[in-house]
A and B are shown apart, each in its own frame.
Chain A
Amino acid sequence: MQSELILMAHPAFGVLAILAAVWVFAEAITNNATSRGRLRMMSLACAGLVWLSYLVGGYWYVVYYAADKALIKAGPWPFAHGFVMEVKEHIFFSMLLLSSYLPIAVFSLTAGKQALKPVVLWVSAWIVVLGLTMEGAGAFISMGAKVALLATQSTGDTP
């Protein structure tokens, strides 16, 4: 039960981070005096949520994933690990660094460095794109485990 809750916290933090990045993108378009506080707060929230998603997901991956990995690799969708998980776990680092950089750019933008506006827009947009890619990849991996379990049930094998 505990491992499942940890696993669900990973995409939940990820979705909230995506929403925060969308918020940063929208506020950066206007970037006026009233939006600056929200911009700063949301950029910090985005970074914090991506780090939480990374730490929670990483803990689950290191401690619990081995059994799922063996199951997926023996099932009908081995690519759910061999391609999707391998790509997901490594591209995540780009998202982690982008979200860590986002507050640096946002705090400078809101302090008057208007030249950073396209940087903030692109960085927040990439966090949204990468975040949605991670969410989709997670769904593929879950389905890889599900079809593997269904396959063992239909053949009567124990997983």
Chain B
Amino acid sequence: MSDTGIGNYNRAFALSFAITSLLSALLVVLKEQNEDTVLAWMKAATGHHWITHGVLVVVVFILLGWLLAQTKLGSRLTGNGLSAVISGSVVLSGVVIAGYFI
């Protein structure tokens, strides 16, 4: 394995951001499409679906970051490669969310 100089936790949490951001966008579609089940559960869990959404996003980001740090997933990514993954996730999750509500 080549050392790209990124560092284990940087790689892990950057990838965790990319994955969590996309999962958050998919959760938007899922909860809006399933108001009686998913959205209702999210409202019941904390009193407001958006609070539940926020808690899930933060918990998944931290847990996934920690888990990915235990693996070598993406260990060959350079700084530019990691930047592309981050940017791709920002754009794609934005397109999914905006595209759903348009």
Residues of A within 8 A of B (CB): 54, 58, 61-62, 82-83, 86-87, 89-91, 93-94, 96-98, 100-101, 104-105, 108, 113-119, 121-123, 126, 130
Asked if residues A93 and B53 are in contact (CB atoms below 8 Å), the reply is yes
The number of chain B residues with a CB under 8 A from chain A is 38
Cα distance, A113 to B82, chains bound together (Å): 14
For this complex, 18 residue pairs linking A to B, each with C-beta atoms less than 8 Å apart, are: A58-B51, A83-B102, A87-B97, A87-B101, A90-B24, A93-B21, A94-B89, A94-B94, A104-B10, A105-B10, A115-B6, A116-B5, A116-B10, A118-B80, A119-B6, A119-B86, A121-B83, A126-B86
Q: State the majority secondary structure of interface residues on A.
A: helix
A122 neighbours in B (Cβ, 8 Å) = 83, 86-87
Cα distance, A117 to B90, chains bound together (Å): 19
